[in-house]
Amino acid sequence: MPPVAPPLTPRALRTRWAVARLQRLARSPDGDGNAAPPFGPVAAMGLSFASPIGLAAGFDRRGRLLEGAHRLGFGAVEMGTLTPADRCPVLSGRAADGVRRGVSIGKPRHVGWDDAEHAWLRALRAFHAGADYVTLNPGRDCPSPARFAALAGAAVQLRNRLARHRLRPLPLVAKLTSRWLNGDAASVIGVADAFVAAGIDGLLVSTEGRRARRNVCAVLRALSEAVDPRICLISVGGIDSVDEVEARLAAGATLVQVHRALLAHDPRLLRSLRRGARSR
Ligand SMILES: Cc1cc2nc3c(=O)[nH]c(=O)nc-3n(C[C@H](O)[C@H](O)[C@H](O)COP(=O)(O)O)c2cc1C
């Protein structure tokens, strides 16, 4: 008997519904899906992004919005998080104009941290060819940033070996989870330095929860002053308005990502981002 897929959780159903709604919106000839992106193009990690605003991982796991995302005002879609056994047909297709394909990779939940490196490297091999950049997602059970930075170092080495199949090496981003960013500036910089030393190209600074949210601009400022300016800082967590986008960019982020605010208020959020950005 073929395996039975587990039922979708209400959250997963809500996300699917939102993706389908945004797909329709992107296709509408004269609606919200046909305007210039809010905020101008930016360059980061050797890539050009039509807009600094991207879709965060978990929203569009399989890249269904890739084709229409530029019409919605996004510069990137971060697919995944994908594990080595996942299939993602869109990653073998042609890249959509102007929208960068990020792929978040991780290990399956049942794989322990002793075997984690193997899982990440398999995922990197599986998805590197179709991605513009890859984000390493530590997941919830990562024992420490040092452990994850060591894994990032192994991923950088594999990325460099795979580079001969590409025009340029694939940019690698490490996701820093909120719980690693709650200390003082010195400890936050210490965490970031380990990933920079490992050779990654970007840091996805994730701020979830009230405490992390309160400190986010201070964290971004500390990082942007301390780390090599070639390292791209991407801010995610609590971005729900133009003011919030502007604050993150002013504090040192080059790119930002949205998730829950879009889930809750999709066309309204897109419209307000566009209106707010135009009136600047
Ligand atoms: C339903 C849901 C699924 C998510 N799935 C992933 C995921 O697969 N990988 C990941 O790195 N982050 C995942 N996230 C985290 C988001 O990418 C984002 O970092 C987080 O929601 C904070 O941004 P927000 O405040 O704009 O929602 C998920 C979040 C939500 C709400």
Q: What is the pLDDT of residues 211-231, one digit of tens each?
A: 777 889 999 999 999 999 999
CA of residue 56 to ligand 1 center, whole Å? 6
CA pair distance 277, 53, nearest whole angstrom: 12
CA of residue 1 to ligand 1 center, whole Å? 34
Confidence grade of residue 263 (pLDDT, cut at 50, 70, 90): confident
Q: What is the pLDDT of residue 280?
A: 47
Does residue 83 surpass a pLDDT of 90?
yes
Atom 3 (ligand 1): residue with closest C-alpha? 58
Residues in the ligand 1 pocket, defined by CB under 6 Å: 11, 15, 56-58, 80-81, 104, 137, 175, 206, 208, 236-239, 258-261
Beta strand 202-206 with 133-136: parallel, antiparallel or unpaired?
unpaired
CA of residue 156 to ligand 1 center, whole Å? 24
The vertex-77 CA angle with 3 and 121, nearest 5°, equals 60
Q: What is the pLDDT of residue 279?
A: 47
Query: Could you identify the atom of ligand 1 that is nearest to the CA of residue 238?
Result: 25
Q: What is the pLDDT of residue 90?
A: 78
Atom 24 (ligand 1): residue with closest C-alpha? 237
Q: What is the pLDDT of residue 242?
A: 87
Residues in contact with 120: Cβ distance below 8 Å, sequence separation at least 6, in sequence order? 105, 106, 107, 136, 151, 154, 155
Phi/psi-derived region of residue 96, left when phi > 0, alpha when psi is between -120 and 50, beta in every other case:
beta
* Average pLDDT of span 231-255: 93
Query: Could you identify the atom of ligand 1 that is nearest to the CA of residue 81?
Result: 8
Q: What is the pLDDT of residue 18?
A: 84
What type of residue is 201? D
Does residue 13 surpass a pLDDT of 80?
yes
Name which of 85, 82, 89, 121 is nearest 103 in CA terms: 82
Token pair 């899906």 is found at: 33
Of 83-92, 200-209, 211-220, 270-279, minimum mean pLDDT range = 270-279
Domains of the chain: 10-278 (3.20.20.70)
Asked if 180 and 203 count as a contact pair (C-beta separation under 8 A), the reply is no
Query: Could you identify the atom of ligand 1 that is nearest to the CA of residue 11?
Result: 1
Does residue 30 surpass a pLDDT of 90?
no
Rg of the Cα atoms in the chain: 18
Atom 22 (ligand 1): residue with closest C-alpha? 237
CA of residue 120 to ligand 1 center, whole Å? 19
| Burial class of residue 171 (count of CB atoms within 10 Å of its CB; 0-12, 13-18, 19+) | buried
Q: What is the pLDDT of residue 37?
A: 54
Residues in contact with 270: Cβ distance below 8 Å, sequence separation at least 6, in sequence order? 25, 32, 72, 73, 262
Q: What is the pLDDT of residue 38?
A: 62
What type of residue is 75? G
Q: What is the pLDDT of residue 277?
A: 52
Confidence grade of residue 107 (pLDDT, cut at 50, 70, 90): very high
Query: Could you identify the atom of ligand 1 that is nearest to the CA of residue 56?
Result: 17
Query: Could you identify the atom of ligand 1 that is nearest to the CA of residue 239?
Result: 26
Which of 17-26, 154-163, 266-275 has the largest mean confidence? 154-163
Q: What is the pLDDT of residues 122-172, one digit of tens each?
A: 999 999 888 999 999 999 889 999 999 999 999 999 999 988 767 778 999
Name which of 249, 178, 175 is nearest 207 in CA terms: 178
CA of residue 237 to ligand 1 center, whole Å? 8
Does residue 247 surpass a pLDDT of 70?
yes
Does residue 266 surpass a pLDDT of 80?
no
Which of 137, 259, 265, 270 to mutate for ligand 1's pocket (most ligand atoms within 8 Å of CB)?
259
Of 5-19, 28-42, 88-102, minimum mean pLDDT range = 28-42
